[in-house]
Amino acid sequence: MLVLAALSLPLQPQSKGVLSVSPVDKLTIQRGAAGEVKIIAQLQPGFHVNSNTPSEDYLIPLKLTWAKEPLQAEQVIYPKPQSEKYDFSPTPLSVFSGNFEIVTRFKAPADTRNGPAIMNGKLRYQACNNKECLPPRTIEIPVTVEIQ
């Protein structure tokens, strides 16, 4: 019962370092149908993360990945990156800063089991400000799912 009660609430993602992720709304999805989950990330002022498509090979991209079940992640849609110039780079870099959203489109397989479940995601990022960089980090993002 406790587990079921817990699954009815949005789960709190781990917050690490200068990037935090808001609790993700519960996703209710029909078997065989599609649904979307929105991840809202907040970066501390002054910091940026490399976008999912960094402008330099040596930079670590932001990447959201999902477990293979119970849902299938069909598409991860990142926001449009900003092009920003920093003291440490002669050319503008492709980054995200401030608050930004990442949308994932899921499909519930027709043969998946009905009921409550957790879909686990991981958001890997590497942040810098104008003068210094922090090591890459990964935030665990659990999403409560109700499959009908």
Partner 1 sequence: MVLLKPIQAAIGCIALGACLVWTGCSNIPEAGFGPRSVHAAVKPEHDRKTAPEFALKDSNGQTVHLADYKGKVVLLDFWATWCGPCKIEIPWFIEFEQQFKDRGFAVLGVSMDEDGWEAVKPYMEDLKINYRILLGNDQVSDIYGGVESLPTTLLIDRQGKIASVHIGLSRGKEEFRDDIDRLLGSSSASAGRALTSLTAAK
Count of residues near partner 1 by CB under 8 A: 21
Residue 42 binds to partner 1 (criterion: CB under 8 A): no
CA-to-CA distance for 71 and 29, rounded, in angstroms? 9
Question: In one letter, which amino acid is 89?
Answer: S
Q: Min. distance of Cβ 47 from partner 1 in angstroms?
A: 8
CB nearer to partner 1: give 102 or 128: 128
Choice from 70, 126, 139, 142 touching partner 1 (CB under 8 A): 126
Does residue 7 bind partner 1 (CB under 8 A)? Answer: no
Give the Cα separation of 24 and 36 in Å (integer): 11
Beta pairing partners, 84: 93
* Segment near partner 1 (CB under 8 A); pick from 30-38, 54-62, 96-104, 112-120: 54-62
Structure tokens at 134: 């922090």
Least Å distance, CB 124 to partner 1, is: 11
Q: Is 93 in the site for partner 1 (CB under 8 A)?
A: yes
Beta bridge partners of 2: none
Number of H helices and E strands in the chain, helices first, is 1, 12
Q: What token pair was written down for 36?
A: 């979307």
What does the binding site for partner 1 look like in residue numbers (CB under 8 A)? 18, 47, 56, 58-60, 86-89, 93, 126, 128-136
